[in-house]
Amino acid sequence: MNSMAANDEAERILNRHRFTVLWSGGKDSTAALLWTLDHVRHDDWNILYVEITGNTHPLCNQYVQDVAEKLGVKDKLMVVKTADFFELMDKWGPPLLFAYRWCLYQLKLKAFQKTHIFNVDGIRRADSRVRRKLNLISVFKMHGRVSISPLLDWSKGQVIDYIREHGVSLNPCYVKYGHSGNCMFCPYADKKHIILTLSDPEWRNKILSVFEKHKNKLMKGSIGRSIYERWMKYGKQYALTTFFNQQK
């Protein structure tokens, strides 16, 4: 199915059902929200924003509130705050894979139970190998929801252009941290995410103290070891990043 046909199919489905837009404050989900406003003709839908308490930057929270007000959808916005992320990470250690990825199972999936059966997301195939296999319509057994992904074949450039065409600014966390700030710590963050996040002393202290506490446990498994070593490796570059930022 080509991009235009996929959009037509997504529009047809969503105009026949009530649904929830999953909004993280990131560029892709923001574009998905704008796409919804452009293509859905009924008003029986809402928006879910999950604040990962302690791990979501206040700038991201404020961005969501400001954009929702600008777009006239604040009455549709449902904000769910989770248990404190760093308290859980201090207790359980950094989330890993499968059953050990507690940030997904203990926090996000519980919030998703508050949504309608049909969800709209900003998933794009270009983001990962796993997502390349997804379809426009995906049924996720783990939370019993049907996801519609209207941006599945969009490029990053298309997403950014679409947001700007609507007069909406990008989340300010992208400039400061290289990501949306919805999850300041993510075990699978890329190099830029790690370096810029750890260049902020507040987040650096919070994250590295947990790694130090759980180092021995993490080093016993290949997944935990790889996560620990990647954060430590790129974390060492924060001082250089700080130096260059001060020269600007």
Residues 9-30, mean pLDDT to the nearest whole number:
96
- Quote the pLDDT of residue 132: 65
Residues 140-151, mean pLDDT to the nearest whole number:
84
Q: Could you list the residue range(s) of the whole structural domain that residue 157 is in?
A: 3-173
Number of domains in the chain: 2
- Quote the pLDDT of residue 72: 98
Question: Which CATH number goes with the domain that contains 115?
Answer: 3.40.50.620
> Same structural domain for residues 21 and 55?
yes
Across the chain, what does the average pLDDT equal?
Answer: 90
> Same structural domain for residues 14 and 104?
yes
pLDDT one-digit tens code per residue, 86-102:
999 999 999 987 667 89
**Could you say which of 129, 145, 173 is where a domain stops?**
173
The answer to whether residue 179 sits within a structural domain is no
> Same structural domain for residues 158 and 53?
yes
The answer to whether residue 183 sits within a structural domain is no
The answer to whether residue 178 sits within a structural domain is no
pLDDT one-digit tens code per residue, 98-116:
667 899 888 988 898 899 9
**Predicted confidence (pLDDT) at residue 165 exceeds the cutoff of 60:** yes
Report long-range pairs for 202-208 (Cβ below 8 Å, ≥24 apart). Answer: 204/235, 204/238, 206/86, 207/231, 208/235
**Predicted confidence (pLDDT) at residue 224 exceeds the cutoff of 60:** yes
> Same structural domain for residues 61 and 112?
yes
